[in-house]
Chains A and B, each alone.
Chain A
Protein backbone atom coordinates (compact mmCIF):
# COMPACT_ATOMS: atom_id res chain seq x y z
CA UNK A 1 0.00 0.00 0.00
CA UNK A 2 2.80 2.41 0.91
CA UNK A 3 4.47 1.67 -2.39
CA UNK A 4 1.26 2.36 -4.31
CA UNK A 5 0.74 5.68 -2.51
CA UNK A 6 4.32 6.65 -3.08
CA UNK A 7 4.08 6.02 -6.80
CA UNK A 8 0.91 8.09 -7.12
CA UNK A 9 2.24 10.99 -5.07
CA UNK A 10 5.64 11.22 -6.71
CA UNK A 11 3.97 11.38 -10.12
CA UNK A 12 1.76 14.35 -9.35
CA UNK A 13 2.72 17.43 -11.37
CA UNK A 14 1.75 19.87 -8.60
CA UNK A 15 4.75 19.72 -6.30
CA UNK A 16 5.82 23.16 -5.11
CA UNK A 17 8.24 25.01 -7.35
CA UNK A 18 8.32 28.53 -6.05
CA UNK A 19 11.50 29.79 -4.42
CA UNK A 20 11.70 27.81 -1.15
CA UNK A 21 13.25 30.83 0.61
CA UNK A 22 12.12 34.36 -0.28
CA UNK A 23 12.91 37.60 1.64
CA UNK A 24 13.16 38.26 5.37
CA UNK A 25 9.71 38.59 6.90
CA UNK A 26 8.06 37.23 3.76
CA UNK A 27 5.19 34.75 3.87
CA UNK A 28 3.88 32.44 1.16
CA UNK A 29 0.48 30.90 0.70
CA UNK A 30 0.31 28.33 -2.06
CA UNK A 31 -2.64 26.19 -3.04
CA UNK A 32 -2.53 23.62 -5.84
CA UNK A 33 -5.70 22.02 -7.03
CA UNK A 34 -6.47 19.00 -9.18
CA UNK A 35 -9.81 17.22 -9.46
CA UNK A 36 -10.39 15.80 -5.94
CA UNK A 37 -6.79 16.51 -4.97
CA UNK A 38 -5.58 19.54 -3.05
CA UNK A 39 -2.22 20.70 -1.78
CA UNK A 40 -1.59 23.62 0.57
CA UNK A 41 1.73 25.15 1.52
CA UNK A 42 2.40 27.91 4.03
CA UNK A 43 5.88 29.34 4.44
CA UNK A 44 7.57 32.01 6.48
CA UNK A 45 11.05 33.27 5.62
CA UNK A 46 12.72 34.28 8.89
CA UNK A 47 16.04 35.15 7.28
CA UNK A 48 17.14 35.43 3.65
CA UNK A 49 18.92 32.12 4.29
CA UNK A 50 16.10 29.90 5.64
CA UNK A 51 12.36 29.49 5.95
CA UNK A 52 9.83 27.45 7.88
CA UNK A 53 7.13 25.57 5.98
CA UNK A 54 3.94 23.63 6.53
CA UNK A 55 2.62 21.36 3.80
CA UNK A 56 -0.69 19.54 3.59
CA UNK A 57 -1.98 17.17 0.92
CA UNK A 58 -5.47 15.78 0.59
CA UNK A 59 -6.25 13.27 -2.15
CA UNK A 60 -9.87 12.23 -1.81
CA UNK A 61 -9.69 9.75 -4.68
CA UNK A 62 -6.70 7.87 -3.23
CA UNK A 63 -8.43 6.30 -0.22
CA UNK A 64 -8.90 9.75 1.33
CA UNK A 65 -5.17 10.09 1.74
CA UNK A 66 -3.91 13.11 3.65
CA UNK A 67 -0.58 14.16 5.07
CA UNK A 68 0.77 17.06 7.09
CA UNK A 69 4.44 17.96 7.27
CA UNK A 70 6.51 20.77 8.74
CA UNK A 71 10.11 21.56 7.97
CA UNK A 72 12.77 24.01 6.94
CA UNK A 73 14.16 25.17 3.61
CA UNK A 74 17.61 26.64 3.16
CA UNK A 75 19.21 28.87 0.54
CA UNK A 76 22.65 27.32 0.06
CA UNK A 77 23.99 29.78 -2.49
CA UNK A 78 22.77 32.67 -4.63
CA UNK A 79 24.60 34.10 -7.62
CA UNK A 80 23.51 37.57 -8.69
CA UNK A 81 24.49 38.74 -12.15
CA UNK A 82 23.32 42.01 -13.70
CA UNK A 83 20.31 40.54 -15.51
CA UNK A 84 19.98 37.06 -14.05
CA UNK A 85 20.19 35.12 -10.84
CA UNK A 86 20.87 31.51 -9.89
CA UNK A 87 20.08 29.75 -6.64
CA UNK A 88 20.72 26.46 -4.85
CA UNK A 89 18.27 25.30 -2.20
CA UNK A 90 17.69 22.32 0.04
CA UNK A 91 14.93 21.40 2.45
CA UNK A 92 13.82 18.71 4.85
CA UNK A 93 10.24 18.13 5.99
CA UNK A 94 8.63 15.50 8.21
CA UNK A 95 5.21 14.61 9.55
CA UNK A 96 2.47 12.05 9.34
CA UNK A 97 -0.09 10.65 6.90
CA UNK A 98 -3.30 8.70 7.11
CA UNK A 99 -5.76 7.17 4.70
CA UNK A 100 -8.75 4.87 4.88
CA UNK A 101 -6.56 1.90 5.81
CA UNK A 102 -3.43 3.04 7.58
CA UNK A 103 -1.35 5.86 8.99
CA UNK A 104 2.35 6.48 9.49
CA UNK A 105 5.30 8.77 9.08
CA UNK A 106 6.15 10.74 5.99
CA UNK A 107 9.16 12.85 5.02
CA UNK A 108 10.68 14.74 2.10
CA UNK A 109 14.22 15.82 1.34
CA UNK A 110 15.03 17.92 -1.73
CA UNK A 111 17.78 19.74 -3.57
CA UNK A 112 16.85 22.36 -6.10
CA UNK A 113 18.72 24.67 -8.43
CA UNK A 114 17.38 27.40 -10.67
CA UNK A 115 18.58 30.07 -13.05
CA UNK A 116 16.40 32.83 -14.35
CA UNK A 117 16.54 36.04 -16.31
CA UNK A 118 13.60 38.18 -17.37
CA UNK A 119 13.13 36.03 -20.48
CA UNK A 120 14.35 32.53 -19.58
CA UNK A 121 13.78 30.31 -16.57
CA UNK A 122 15.28 26.91 -15.81
CA UNK A 123 14.93 24.71 -12.77
CA UNK A 124 16.06 21.28 -11.66
CA UNK A 125 14.85 19.50 -8.54
CA UNK A 126 15.57 16.14 -6.96
CA UNK A 127 13.10 15.15 -4.26
CA UNK A 128 13.19 12.08 -2.07
CA UNK A 129 9.90 10.88 -0.58
CA UNK A 130 9.88 8.63 2.48
CA UNK A 131 6.68 6.83 3.49
CA UNK A 132 6.99 4.41 6.40
CA UNK A 133 10.27 3.00 5.17
CA UNK A 134 9.44 3.08 1.45
CA UNK A 135 11.45 5.67 -0.44
CA UNK A 136 11.34 7.02 -3.95
CA UNK A 137 13.06 9.85 -5.77
CA UNK A 138 11.66 12.01 -8.48
CA UNK A 139 13.52 14.32 -10.81
CA UNK A 140 11.91 17.43 -12.23
CA UNK A 141 13.22 19.90 -14.77
CA UNK A 142 11.57 23.02 -16.11
CA UNK A 143 12.25 25.48 -18.88
CA UNK A 144 10.24 28.67 -19.17
CA UNK A 145 10.12 31.47 -21.70
CA UNK A 146 8.56 34.90 -21.29
CA UNK A 147 7.03 36.02 -24.63
CA UNK A 148 7.15 39.67 -23.48
CA UNK A 149 8.69 41.63 -20.60
CA UNK A 150 6.21 43.40 -18.37
CA UNK A 151 6.86 46.27 -15.98
CA UNK A 152 6.70 46.03 -12.19
CA UNK A 153 2.94 46.36 -11.85
CA UNK A 154 1.91 44.75 -15.11
CA UNK A 155 0.78 41.25 -15.95
CA UNK A 156 3.70 38.95 -16.79
CA UNK A 157 3.13 35.65 -18.62
CA UNK A 158 5.43 32.64 -18.95
CA UNK A 159 5.22 29.53 -21.13
CA UNK A 160 6.74 26.62 -19.22
CA UNK A 161 7.48 23.02 -20.08
CA UNK A 162 8.02 20.61 -17.19
CA UNK A 163 9.42 17.09 -17.34
CA UNK A 164 9.22 14.71 -14.39
CA UNK A 165 10.81 11.30 -14.02
CA UNK A 166 10.33 8.88 -11.13
CA UNK A 167 13.06 6.31 -10.55
CA UNK A 168 12.12 2.63 -10.76
CA UNK A 169 8.94 3.48 -12.64
CA UNK A 170 8.26 3.17 -16.32
CA UNK A 171 10.86 5.04 -18.34
CA UNK A 172 8.17 7.46 -19.38
CA UNK A 173 8.74 11.11 -18.51
CA UNK A 174 5.63 12.95 -17.41
CA UNK A 175 5.52 16.12 -19.52
CA UNK A 176 3.43 19.09 -18.41
CA UNK A 177 3.08 22.24 -20.53
CA UNK A 178 1.88 25.11 -18.38
CA UNK A 179 1.06 28.78 -18.36
CA UNK A 180 2.29 30.95 -15.50
CA UNK A 181 1.13 34.48 -14.75
CA UNK A 182 2.45 37.06 -12.30
CA UNK A 183 0.62 40.16 -11.22
CA UNK A 184 2.27 42.12 -8.40
CA UNK A 185 2.64 39.60 -5.56
CA UNK A 186 0.25 36.98 -6.97
CA UNK A 187 1.19 34.02 -9.18
CA UNK A 188 -1.11 31.52 -10.81
CA UNK A 189 -0.22 28.57 -12.95
CA UNK A 190 -2.31 26.15 -15.01
CA UNK A 191 -1.10 22.98 -16.68
CA UNK A 192 -2.15 19.69 -18.20
CA UNK A 193 0.22 16.71 -18.14
CA UNK A 194 0.67 13.91 -20.67
CA UNK A 195 -0.90 11.64 -18.03
CA UNK A 196 -4.10 13.65 -18.36
CA UNK A 197 -3.76 15.52 -15.07
CA UNK A 198 -4.89 19.15 -15.08
CA UNK A 199 -4.04 21.45 -12.25
CA UNK A 200 -4.22 25.02 -11.02
CA UNK A 201 -1.77 26.61 -8.59
CA UNK A 202 -2.32 29.92 -6.84
CA UNK A 203 0.45 31.56 -4.84
CA UNK A 204 0.63 34.80 -2.89
CA UNK A 205 3.72 36.41 -1.38
CA UNK A 206 3.08 38.94 1.38
Chain B
Protein backbone atom coordinates (compact mmCIF):
# COMPACT_ATOMS: atom_id res chain seq x y z
CA UNK B 1 0.00 0.00 0.00
CA UNK B 2 2.82 2.37 0.87
CA UNK B 3 4.49 1.61 -2.43
CA UNK B 4 1.24 2.31 -4.27
CA UNK B 5 0.81 5.67 -2.55
CA UNK B 6 4.46 6.50 -3.25
CA UNK B 7 4.04 5.68 -6.95
CA UNK B 8 0.85 7.75 -7.12
CA UNK B 9 2.63 10.75 -5.64
CA UNK B 10 5.58 10.35 -7.98
CA UNK B 11 3.37 10.03 -11.06
CA UNK B 12 1.31 13.05 -10.00
CA UNK B 13 4.49 15.06 -9.68
CA UNK B 14 6.01 13.81 -12.91
CA UNK B 15 2.95 13.96 -15.14
CA UNK B 16 1.08 16.97 -13.78
CA UNK B 17 0.41 19.86 -16.12
CA UNK B 18 3.01 22.59 -15.89
CA UNK B 19 2.91 26.24 -16.81
CA UNK B 20 6.11 27.83 -17.97
CA UNK B 21 6.89 31.43 -18.86
CA UNK B 22 9.64 32.03 -21.41
CA UNK B 23 11.24 35.42 -22.04
CA UNK B 24 11.83 35.72 -25.78
CA UNK B 25 13.38 38.99 -27.04
CA UNK B 26 12.84 40.07 -30.63
CA UNK B 27 9.24 38.92 -31.08
CA UNK B 28 7.75 41.73 -33.14
CA UNK B 29 5.26 40.37 -35.65
CA UNK B 30 2.20 38.18 -35.34
CA UNK B 31 3.01 35.91 -38.26
CA UNK B 32 6.57 35.27 -37.10
CA UNK B 33 5.50 34.12 -33.66
CA UNK B 34 2.91 31.77 -35.14
CA UNK B 35 5.88 29.37 -35.10
CA UNK B 36 5.69 29.27 -31.30
CA UNK B 37 2.28 27.62 -31.44
CA UNK B 38 3.50 25.28 -34.16
CA UNK B 39 6.62 24.16 -32.32
CA UNK B 40 4.89 23.62 -28.94
CA UNK B 41 1.92 21.88 -30.57
CA UNK B 42 2.97 18.35 -29.60
CA UNK B 43 3.41 19.12 -25.88
CA UNK B 44 0.15 20.99 -25.21
CA UNK B 45 -3.50 20.00 -25.49
CA UNK B 46 -4.63 22.94 -27.62
CA UNK B 47 -1.99 25.27 -29.12
CA UNK B 48 -4.56 28.06 -29.56
CA UNK B 49 -5.36 28.15 -25.83
CA UNK B 50 -2.23 26.69 -24.25
CA UNK B 51 0.44 28.77 -25.99
CA UNK B 52 -0.02 32.44 -25.16
CA UNK B 53 2.33 34.92 -26.84
CA UNK B 54 2.56 38.45 -25.42
CA UNK B 55 4.26 40.72 -27.95
CA UNK B 56 4.29 43.64 -25.49
CA UNK B 57 6.11 41.79 -22.70
CA UNK B 58 8.09 39.52 -25.08
CA UNK B 59 6.95 36.43 -23.22
CA UNK B 60 5.44 33.10 -24.14
CA UNK B 61 3.39 31.24 -21.52
CA UNK B 62 2.92 27.55 -22.28
CA UNK B 63 0.48 25.29 -20.47
CA UNK B 64 2.29 21.96 -20.94
CA UNK B 65 0.56 18.58 -20.82
CA UNK B 66 3.58 17.23 -18.97
CA UNK B 67 6.69 18.86 -17.70
CA UNK B 68 9.56 18.85 -20.21
CA UNK B 69 13.21 19.78 -19.74
CA UNK B 70 14.47 23.33 -20.12
CA UNK B 71 16.76 22.13 -22.94
CA UNK B 72 13.67 20.86 -24.77
CA UNK B 73 11.97 24.23 -24.26
CA UNK B 74 15.05 26.07 -25.58
CA UNK B 75 15.17 23.80 -28.64
CA UNK B 76 11.50 24.44 -29.45
CA UNK B 77 11.99 28.20 -29.11
CA UNK B 78 15.09 27.98 -31.38
CA UNK B 79 13.07 26.01 -33.95
CA UNK B 80 10.57 28.86 -33.91
CA UNK B 81 13.43 31.18 -34.84
CA UNK B 82 14.08 32.82 -31.46
CA UNK B 83 16.15 32.40 -28.30
CA UNK B 84 14.80 31.64 -24.84
CA UNK B 85 16.43 34.23 -22.60
CA UNK B 86 14.87 33.14 -19.31
CA UNK B 87 12.63 30.24 -18.30
CA UNK B 88 10.36 30.56 -15.25
CA UNK B 89 8.22 27.68 -13.99
CA UNK B 90 4.85 28.99 -12.84
CA UNK B 91 3.56 25.71 -11.39
Chain A: residues with CB nearer than 8 A to chain B?
A: 19, 21-26, 47-48, 78-85, 116-118, 150-153, 156, 182-185, 187, 205
Is B81 touching A184 in the complex (CB atoms < 8 A)? Answer: no
Shortest beta-carbon distance, B72 to chain A, in Å?
A: 14
Identity of the chain A residue whose Cβ is nearest the Cβ of B27 in the assembled complex: A85
Interface size on B, residues (CB 8 A): 23
Identity of the chain A residue whose Cβ is nearest the Cβ of B82 in the assembled complex: A80
Q: Does B83 contact A (CB under 8 A)?
A: yes
Q: Given contacts A23-B81, A25-B79, A48-B79, is CB(A80)–CB(B25) below 8 Å?
A: yes
Identity of the chain A residue whose Cβ is nearest the Cβ of B26 in the assembled complex: A80
Residues of chain B in range 22-39 having any CB-CB distance to chain A below 8 Å = 25-26, 28-36, 38-39
Q: Please give, as numbers and ranges, the residues of chain B lying within 8 Å of A26 by CB-CB distance.
A: 34-35, 38
**Complex Cα spacing A117 to B32, Å:** 12
Shortest beta-carbon distance, A206 to chain B, in Å?
A: 8
14 CB-based A-B contacts, threshold 8 Å? A23-B81, A24-B38, A25-B35, A25-B38, A78-B26, A79-B26, A83-B25, A84-B26, A116-B28, A116-B29, A118-B28, A152-B53, A185-B30, A205-B31
Is B81 touching A48 in the complex (CB atoms < 8 A)? Answer: yes
Identity of the chain B residue whose Cβ is nearest the Cβ of A184 in the assembled complex: B30
Q: Please give, as numbers and ranges, the residues of chain B lying within 8 Å of A25 by CB-CB distance.
A: 35, 38-39, 79
B28, B35, B54: the one contacting A85 at CB < 8 Å is B28
Q: Does B73 contact A (CB under 8 A)?
A: no
Q: Given contacts A80-B82, A152-B54, is CB(A24)–CB(B39) below 8 Å?
A: yes
Contact with A along B76-91 (1 / 0, CB 8 A): 0011111100000000
Is B34 touching A82 in the complex (CB atoms < 8 A)? Answer: no
**Complex Cα spacing A187 to B79, Å:** 22
